[in-house]
Amino acid sequence: MAANMYRVGDYVYFENSSSNPYLVRRIEELNKTANGNVEAKVVCLFRRRDISSSLNSLADSNAREFEEESKQPGVSEQQRHQLKHRELFLSRQFESLPATHIRGKCSVTLLNETDILSQYLEKEDCFFYSLVFDPVQKTLLADQGEIRVGCKYQAEIPDRLAEGESDNRNQQKMEMKVWDPDNPLTDRQIDQFLVVARAVGTFARALDCSSSIRQPSLHMSAAAASRDITLFHAMDTLQRNGYDLAKAMSTLVPQGGPVLCRDEMEEWSASEAMLFEEALEKY
């Protein structure tokens, strides 16, 4: 029974023709159509047979570089050929397919330098990818962004002031101070205030009609109220009120009602949020 249950994020096989290999897709959304059928919005992954010979040569070159850099153990020509059938190319292309065409689950992972390639041949329905294919531009690019190092990309950290040395910098040109680590509150008091801020955020969502539609359950409202935007607002409230807990509490619940803090992620769908997190990890 569990093998026939599919969720958002699963990699699955789709059948589009009895004469072709199964398509490999990642489920982004599952929607019920007007006639009662279930339709899956999926991300397309491509096999080597789906890309041009010139891009296959580029993929071969990338594979050789990976083997040299990660010092892979030697594989036979037969295993090398089999590995090509286990390699996929991720894309940013979406399509909608009927869920009735799903033919089972598979596993797809991003290849990293700690992987042993031959291990992918030991498991059934196991694939890997390291390049992204653009079906429109007909290009292959690395899926992982590079870390840029140097003065163009990192800020220079100034030397620390010696004990008793005065700071001669123009304070008008400095950033605004938003938190004082030497404040008079204890860690426990700060944690208690953050709990209160989350509770106020949960109550504010209960009073807000639009939030009630997006987060119909108490659990979802509490999770949304625990996002960073609420905690940042709470800490900023403490700073603006001189770390006076009584004043800060009053600021959280002004005359018009409790303060509701919301960020962009609450406005996004689950698939949009997943794409954003994926982009942050890679680029």
pLDDT at site 260: 85
Identify the CATH assignment for 176-282 out of 3.20.20.140, 1.10.565.10, 4.10.1240.50, 3.30.420.40: 4.10.1240.50
Question: 253, 200 in Cβ contact below 8 A?
Answer: yes
Domains 2-142 and 176-282 share a fold: no
| Amino acid in position 281 | E
Domain residue spans of the chain? 2-142, 176-282
Q: In which residue ranges of the chain is pLDDT below 70?
A: 1-3, 143-149, 210-216, 270
Alpha-helical segments (H) within the chain: 53-70, 77-86, 187-207, 209-214, 218-225, 228-240, 245-252, 270-282
pLDDT at site 214: 62
pLDDT at site 1: 37
As a whole-number percent, the residues of the chain with pLDDT over 70 amount to 93
pLDDT at site 247: 94
The CATH architecture of the domain made up of 2-142 is Roll (2.30)
Q: Say what the pTM is.
A: 0.49
Question: 44, 95 in Cβ contact below 8 A?
Answer: yes
pLDDT at site 89: 94
- Cβ neighbours of residue 66 closer than 8 Å, sequence gap 6 or more: 72, 111, 113, 130
| Amino acid in position 199 | A
